[in-house]
Structure 1
Amino acid sequence: YDPGFTCTASCTSGITYVDGPKGQCLYRGYPVAELCAKCDFMEVAHLLLNGELPGKQEKKEFIDRIESEYLVHERFRDFFKVFRMNAHPMAIMVAATGSLSAYYHDNLDWSKPDDREICAMRLIAKMP
C-alpha cells in the first residue's frame, strides 16, 4: 500500500487502466473481474503480452513455450535456504526474480522484441 501515491510512478498505459474512484481496473480493455471469472492464468498472461486473448491453438503454443522454460538450475534451490521462515513472500519473490538474471546472462538485446519475449517467457515459467 502506498498512501498518498508517494512511491509509485504513474503513466499512461495501453496494458492497464485503473480508475480508483470508479472501482475500475482493466487489462487491455477487459475488466479484471471478468478475466478472473472467465480466463485462466495463461490466457491472461497471453493477453497482457500480446494484446489479445488466445484462441485454442495459440493458447497451446503459448503454454508449450512457457513449459519449455520451467526448469531452474539445481543450485537455485539453495537460494531459498537463506531466508527466515517468516520472511515476507514478496521480499523472497523480488530477490528470486533479480537473482534469476545470474543464470540467464546470455547476450539478450532489450531493443529486440524477440529477446524481450524470451525474458517474459522465462519469468512466467518460473513464477506461475
Structure 2
Amino acid sequence: MEAYGAPKAISSFVIPTGYSFNLDGSTLYQSIAAIFIAQLYGIEMSISQQVILVVTLMITSKGIAGVPGVSFVVLLATLGSVGIPVEGLAFIAGVDRIMDMARTALNVVGNALAVLVISKWEKQYDYEKAAAYEASLK
C-alpha cells in the first residue's frame, strides 16, 4: 500500500486491525448462505429477523480471520441460534472451500480499500506516488 501512496504509519495500523474487524467477505458470505438455507426450507424471514441475523454474524465472525474453513463452524452455530435448520449446511458444504478463497479475496480488498480511504481522510495520501505506481504497471 505504501507503493500506491498510503503512508506506512497508516497501513501498518489499518491492515492488522482490518484482519480482526473488517471481515466483509466473511460476513457477506455467511449472511447470504443463511438466507439461502432459510429459503431452501421455505422459512420466511422478516427484515428485522434478517437484520438480527446479519448483526449476529458480524459479531460471531470476528474471530475467524486466521483459520481456514472456520466460517462453516461459525455459520453452524449461528443457524441454530436463529432457528434455521443446521442440516441445510449440507447443501453448501461442497462449495465452502471454494467460497473460502473468494471470502479471503474480498476481505483483503476491503482492508486495502480501508487503508486508501483513511489515508485520504487524513490528507496523507500521496497522489503523485500513486500515479507513478500506476504508470509503472502499464
TM bucket normalised to smaller: under 0.3
- TM-score under structure 1 normalisation? 0.25
Asked which structure has the greater CA Rg, the reply is 2
- TM-score under structure 2 normalisation? 0.24
**Which structure's residues are more often helix, by fraction?**
2
Q: Which has the higher contact order (CA 8 A, sep 6+)?
A: 2
**Which structure's residues are more often strand, by fraction?**
1
